Amino acid sequence: MVDRHYLVNFNSDNLPQYQTELLIVGGGIAGLYTAWKAIEAGLEVTLLTKRTIIDSNSDRAQGGIAAALGKTDSPELHYEDTMLAGAGLCDAVAVKVLVNEGPSRVQELINMGANFDRHGNQLAMTKEGAHSKRRILHAHGDATGAEIICTLMQQVLNQGKALVLEQHFVVDLLVKDGVCCGVLAYDERSQEYCIYWTKAVVMASGGAGRLYKYTTNPEVATGDGIAIAYRAGAEVMDMEFVQFHPTTLVLPNAPRFLISEAVRGEGALLRNSQGERFMPRYHGMAELAPRDIVSRAILSEMAATQKSYVNLDLTHIAADKIKRRFPTITATCAKYGLDITKEPIPVAPAAHYLMGGIKTNYNGLTSIQGLYACGEAACLGVHGANRLASNSLLDGLVFGNRIVKHLMKTIDGISLNKERFICQDLFEPAGDVEAISEQLKWTMGENVGPLRTIHRLTRALAFFEQNEWLKRHRCRNAREMELRNMLEVGKLITEAAMMRTESRGGHFRLDFPETSTRWEKHIILRR
């Protein structure tokens, strides 16, 4: 079968071929948890990750995981908070699934040994922006994601029933007549391409923060899964909604390190460069307003004071509490000469999370038969236009579980479909990869950031439409494949942002600053 949308020339007949019942792409919380549930259900599982298994946004998650486990909390309250933060675009059914099934999924983590912080025998819970209750479980103060990933890795690897292959870059899906029957992958260790035939693929490849110069995301977050699925013909949804975390570290020679929302949840205050606390002027919840509101407030104060940051002030909180509750943040800032118990932290917004992604149904199934998606790569509408803090880790658990449940009802009736796939007409690429990557990040930051206009978006779209790399060029290595994927996803974000002529959640148009009821709908894009 010849298709002009692959990234490399290949003939499946001439490549090493493997087969597995279930192929999972990505090693974050969504991928690992789905693998564990699939193993428990008796499925044969292969998990591919393009770097190492700990290279993911999940591993970096500081604040925690939200679940209605407190005595004064309930799924109904969690539902209300999620719907409110989502700015009118949350799928109500999806949110009900999330908040009602979430507590059981978190309890599974506890049962398998995840060491969440406690006060005596009780789980310690904090409060974050737009939450009405203290429902955020955390581990080792501010290393929640690392604890969960470590726990899931042990479960998956110790059972010895899953094949976990690192440094395997999934290049493209192999789809015939609307059915996904496998993937083309690149083994970076042997520098060889190979084919994996499978009954089902779960895309759990994470987000796309690396499209922006300033981001909390690791280097692997280049939107690969979304681009791969889009090239194969899958629908993507809500791509205009990019969440910019309000508080990331701004220091010379320091990366944009995440300063968790839980810091504000424990009482830290935002002050401009003149020492004035400003958030009460912008929202009734002040520092604990939804992330999009806090980010825009910070940008407004930065513009008014002509500074590249505002200050996050913890100095009124007891030093021993800060060190105990936020050991990672304390140590990281100290590494760059900042004592957060005595000095405020200079912070500014940075790209953090993509609400949009591969469109799925309530069981994680995409518009391509045999292709599922979960975690940040997926979009069901559970986060609406603005994700509620600490719902992302929960999302990966809940919908990973639902994928496996759905698979167990259908997989016995699916046969491996080993078709012939060929691509042989791609041209040699042109242009310096690193230079184009920097141009992309600059273009996205300047034109498709937290504040957008038609003029900025038009400039961004021109960059994508003129870029030779989005044409039929052959990629020669994983870095070039990443660049191609980043360009694909950047263009999708830009196109969707141009279409939505209003402001809502993570999408703010200076030329259309109001929220419009006629835009209470989703933008779905398909190749």
Residue 278: is its pLDDT beyond 50?
A: yes
How confident is residue 470, by pLDDT bands cut at 50, 70 and 90? Answer: confident
- Check: CB of residue 335 under 8 Å from CB of residue 309: no
For residue range 59-83, what is the model confidence (pLDDT) as tens digits? 888 889 999 999 999 999 999 999 9
How confident is residue 4, by pLDDT bands cut at 50, 70 and 90? Answer: low
* CA distances to 231, 436, 525 from 227, in Å: 6, 18, 12
How confident is residue 2, by pLDDT bands cut at 50, 70 and 90? Answer: very low
Enumerate the CATH 3.90.700.10 domain ranges in the chain, comma separated. Answer: 245-349
For residue range 347-366, what is the model confidence (pLDDT) as tens digits? 999 999 999 999 999 999 99
SS3 assignment, position 345: strand
* Tally of residues, the chain: 527
Helix axes 392-410, 144-159, angle to 10 degrees: 30
Q: What is the pLDDT of residue 54?
A: 85
The encoded tokens of residue 378 equal 């997926």
Q: What's the sign of the alpha-carbon dihedral 8, 12, 17, 23?
A: positive
For residue range 12-46, what is the model confidence (pLDDT) as tens digits? 999 999 999 999 999 999 999 999 999 999 999 99
List CB contacts of 234: < 8 A, sequence separation 6 or more: 358, 359, 366, 367, 368, 371, 526
Work out the average pLDDT over 434-450. 97
Catalytically annotated residue among 231, 291, 452, 500: 291
Most confident segment among 140-144, 205-209, 422-426: 205-209
What is the spatial distance between Cα 198 and Cα 196, in angstroms, rounded to a whole number?
6
For residue range 205-254, what is the model confidence (pLDDT) as tens digits? 999 999 999 999 999 999 999 999 999 999 999 999 999 999 999 998 89
What CATH code would you report for 1-59+146-241+355-527?
3.50.50.60
**Beta-ladder partners of 33:** none
What CATH code would you report for 245-349?
3.90.700.10
**Beta-ladder partners of 136:** 66, 126
For residue range 173-194, what is the model confidence (pLDDT) as tens digits? 999 999 999 999 999 999 999 9
For residue range 300-345, what is the model confidence (pLDDT) as tens digits? 999 999 999 999 999 999 999 999 999 999 999 999 999 999 999 9
- Check: CB of residue 432 under 8 Å from CB of residue 483: no
What is the spatial distance between Cα 408 and Cα 413, in angstroms, rounded to a whole number?
10
Give the 3-state secondary structure of 246-295: EEEECCCCCCCCECCHHHHHCCCEEECCCCCECHHHCCCCHHHCCHHHHH
Work out the average pLDDT over 419-423. 94
Work out the average pLDDT over 417-434. 87
Sequence-distant contacts of 161-164: CB under 8 A, at least 24 apart: 161/39, 161/44, 161/45, 162/35, 162/38, 162/39, 162/45, 162/46, 162/47, 163/20, 163/45, 163/46, 163/47, 164/27, 164/35, 164/46, 164/47, 164/49, 164/53
SS3 assignment, position 98: helix
Question: Is 0.85 surpassed by the pTM of this model?
Answer: yes
Q: What is the pLDDT of residue 1?
A: 41
Mean pLDDT, rounded, of the chain = 95
For residue range 123-134, what is the model confidence (pLDDT) as tens digits? 999 999 899 999
Q: What is the pLDDT of residue 427?
A: 84
* CA distances to 1, 247, 271, 409, 522 from 277, in Å: 62, 15, 4, 55, 36
What is the spatial distance between Cα 67 and Cα 86, in angstroms, rounded to a whole number?
17
Residue that has been written with the tokens 């979960």 in this structure: 374
Q: What is the DSSP string of 176-189?
A: ETTEEEEEEEEETT
How confident is residue 136, by pLDDT bands cut at 50, 70 and 90? Answer: very high
Q: Is 264 a catalytic residue?
A: no
Alpha helices (H) along 1-74 = 29-40, 57-60
Q: What is the pLDDT of residue 499?
A: 98
